[in-house]
Amino acid sequence: MNSKSKYILVICFGAVVLAAIVIRLCINQTTFVDDSYIFLRFAKNALEGYGFRWNINEPPLEGYTSFLYLLVNIFAVKFFSYPEMFLQIFGIITSLVTIVLIYLLYNEVSPLLKTENLVTSILVLISPCFIYWSLAGMETSFYMMFLIFSLLFYFRKSNTPLSFIASGALFAVLYLIRPESILFFIYAFLFTAYRLFTEKHQRKWLLLICMVFGFQLIFAPYFIWHLKYFGVLFPNSYYAKVGGGIYQIKGGLSYFYIHGVKIFNRGWYLIIPILALSIFEIKNHKQLFLLGLALLSILITIINGGDHFDYARFLIPILPLFLAAFPISLKKAYSFIKNRISYMGYCFCVPAIVLILNLKNPVYTEFIFKPKKPLVVENDNPDQGYKWEVGFIKMGKVLKHISKPGDTIALMPAGAIGYFSGLNILDMEGILNSDIANEPFVEKYIKNWRPGHNKGDGYYILQHKPEYIQLVDYLTSAPQSEPGPQSLVFKSVFEIWNSPDFHSEYEFYPVKISEGIYYNLYRRKN
């Protein structure tokens, strides 16, 4: 199989898999996650001339974590009547480009293992987590694409000042997609310095200065603007999520294990034994570089406490780096079954077996094979099979219909409801409220670590006297006046529900959306 045929194969395979999922999604409505609508609301407010604000009557707030992806959302809102579909198509395209870039990256690391590199690229493609985040409307696939592109350029750059400037600039652009990737630049700079000094390169100092200059060329103007505009160093979500001490670390470790398994599920039973056969060659510094970068990213994720989203959002971008040794391992593993099967048949059996072992993954069963999930919750049990995303959209549209311009609602989560309602949103978790985000953690609420959902202040919410308060974040088949146990674990909800002021100042206000579908609100009296 020549190189051109392999390109065609990987592109066609990826296009077929992703197209099949998109067709099913059109039937099964959407996997567009709620936080994606946070980007869209910021984009809409920016286009209307309010700047980067969550609520237009409040100071600027960096309630998003990817500046460049926000610009993509601004483009989507500006030119498309249905920006969600554009963002999903954008995710599919970036994911497809990512697979090709991964293949090129592996060819750069192991140039003699073309078939093995292709098989490993296909393994990344069929991961349920990779497929899910291709269509979720977040920056994950965009970030992954640019990460692989930056690393490919880093390996291919020549020893010229201009090439080092460009490499540094690409890492700065990567920072604009995910701020924590600034540590990737530091890692790459130190690795480069070690290589240049070890090889006693004559222009080592000039090249290192050029790499820093290229990074600062983009990073410095953005950082100065960011600090002046927002007045803080980090996105608001950083202050809302970080500071949980040992509970945060435990949460990060738990996240790494639970979601690391989900990347391939039972497919790991085949991948890990093959991967274990790899013995890193000391001279293959590119392979070692990628593994070190993957370990650094895992460490950052653990220290930050992981993520509340399912399907390994913070782990999937570095999966290709973790599998950098798989091509050579795949070749070594063939020695155990040599002469029993052709080499090409053996190679392509590996992703086929991994795919079969993953067929029971919810990404396949729920988004491709399974019938539509229910829209309402029965018996106060929202944990099984509820169509969250569509429910939040309906809530937002209902609020827009029953409220007056300028009304405020306190709720969680805030994405789709905030985008479709257009109301002032008082975020009870602090992700989109700097006051709550900067409050200290209370140990009672962080023992069961939920990244981004551990803070809250019910008394603060009540002091702001919102017109509406939402304590039940799902639609029900009958009016539900009390928040269930799964809602009372959140600090704001618990404090509001147990406040005498709340019960004296607010009345239960269920809204009948249609027969058998209720949206449960509390409305301020008078």
Confidence of residue 74 (pLDDT cuts 50, 70, 90): very high
Asked whether the predicted pLDDT for residue 384 surpasses 80, the reply is: no
DSSP run (H or E) holding 316 = none
pTM for this prediction: 0.92
% of residues, the chain, pLDDT over 70 = 90
Asked whether the predicted pLDDT for residue 28 surpasses 70, the reply is: no
d(CA 411, CA 316): 30
Write the pLDDT tens digit of every residue in 427-441.
999 999 999 999 999
Task: Provide the token pair at 128.
Answer: 């349920």
Confidence of residue 27 (pLDDT cuts 50, 70, 90): very low
Give the type of residue at 113.
Answer: L
Confidence of residue 518 (pLDDT cuts 50, 70, 90): very high
Asked whether the predicted pLDDT for residue 25 surpasses 60, the reply is: no
Is 130 within 8 Å of 319 (Cβ atoms)? yes
d(CA 431, CA 451): 10
d(CA 411, CA 430): 11
Tell me the mean pLDDT in the region 191-212: 89
Phi, psi of 232 (to 5 degrees): -135, 160
Q: Which residue has the higher pLDDT, 389 or 256?
A: 256
Tell me the mean pLDDT in the region 280-288: 73
DSSP run (H or E) holding 506 = strand 506-514
The pLDDT mean for the chain works out to: 88
Confidence of residue 16 (pLDDT cuts 50, 70, 90): low
Write the pLDDT tens digit of every residue in 443-477.
888 888 888 889 999 999 999 999 999 999 889 88
Task: Provide the token pair at 392.
Answer: 């939040």
Tell me the mean pLDDT in the region 265-271: 91
% of residues, the chain, pLDDT over 90 = 58
Task: Provide the token pair at 239.
Answer: 């202050």
Confidence of residue 17 (pLDDT cuts 50, 70, 90): low
Nearest Cα to 98, choosing from 317, 307, 273? 317
Per DSSP, the residues of 170-196 read: HHHHHHHH-GGGHHHHHHHHHHHHHHH
Query: 410: helix, coil or strand?
Result: strand
Confidence of residue 256 (pLDDT cuts 50, 70, 90): very high
Asked whether the predicted pLDDT for residue 367 surpasses 90, the reply is: no
The mean-pLDDT minimum among 26-40, 102-116, 141-155 falls in 26-40
Q: Tell me which DSSP letter residue 368 carries.
A: I
Is 116 within 8 Å of 105 (Cβ atoms)? no
Query: 73: helix, coil or strand?
Result: helix
The mean-pLDDT minimum among 173-182, 241-250, 375-384, 411-420 falls in 375-384
Asked whether the predicted pLDDT for residue 249 surpasses 60, the reply is: yes
Is 301 within 8 Å of 249 (Cβ atoms)? no
Helix count (H) and strand count (E) of the chain? 24, 5
Confidence (pLDDT) at 132: 87
Tell me the mean pLDDT in the region 293-309: 93
Asked whether the predicted pLDDT for residue 115 surpasses 90, the reply is: no
Confidence (pLDDT) at 78: 95
Tell me the mean pLDDT in the region 398-420: 92
